[in-house]
Each structure stands twice: as C-alpha cells, then as structure tokens.
Amino acid sequence: MFFLCRHCDRGDRYCSGTCAERARRTSLREAGRRYQHSRRGRFRHAARQARYRAHRTANVLVDFGSSGVGGVPLPSHPNYGLFQFKAGLGCRLVGCLPYQDLVFRRLAYQTFRRVETSLLPRVHRLLARAPALVGVMKRAV
C-alpha cells in the first residue's frame, strides 16, 4: 500500500515532508487499530492496564498498618510528643513497610473496602454511644 498525495496528484509517493508525516501517522494509526482489535492486542492492553493500576496504587500507598510507623517522626509532627514519651519509657521504634492488597475481583474488593472504611466506623460509633443496643444485638445473633 502506498500513499498518493492528493494535494498535487503528480504521481509521487510523497510530495513533501508534511505529506510523508501525515501518511506515516495514518499508517501507524491503522496498524494500531488492527492490533488493538486482535486477541493478542486486547490481552496485552489489559495486562498493561493492570500493571499501570498496580503501580499507581503502590505509588500513593501510605498505610503502614495498625501500629507501625514509617520512621522517626520530625519535631514538627503532631505525634512527636507521643514518640518522645514512649522512647522515654524504653520503647523502641519498629519500622514497618507499606502493604497493599492483591485484588482478584475488583468490584467485590471495592465494595468490601467501602463497607470497611465508611460503614463499619459508623456502626462502631453507634454501638459505643448505645451500650444497651449491644446486648440486644448479641441476643439477636
């Protein structure tokens, strides 16, 4: 397949650098479209997207678990006084690395994470405010 320039129709394959660039862009776009519609292209695109999402998630991950810290806090940190108090008692600092979940079923994971982060704290606050409700719920279970 070749590209015949419509601007001059002299029969040249490409009449100028501009026409050559335009023809190359068109050719590459068509090749990319054909590749993306193939089975191999779809699977590779899905794998690349999964890697990108995992990398993006890992880059913003700052959760150090329930009791670990990322390092010695700076004096300007709000919990620096607590660190000094515990260090004065002889406690030692244990560093923890950030962790991330390995997701196999994205929709179920998002649903459970949403319940875990938004609904459960509300339930705990409600139960803390109404101790009599705890007894009623225990009897119901």
Give the residue carrying structure tokens 């620096």.
80
pTM of the model: 0.33
In a domain, 96, yes or no: no
pLDDT score, position 96: 62
Cβ(101)–Cβ(109) below 8 Å: yes
Residue 65 lies in a domain: no
* 91, part of any domain: no
Does residue 119 fall inside a structural domain?
Answer: no
Query: Which comes out higher in pLDDT, residue 76 or 130?
Result: 76
- The band of 133, judged by pLDDT with boundaries at 50, 70 and 90, is low
Q: Structural domain tally of the chain?
A: 1
Domain for residue 115, yes or no? no
Give domain status of residue 66, yes or no.
no
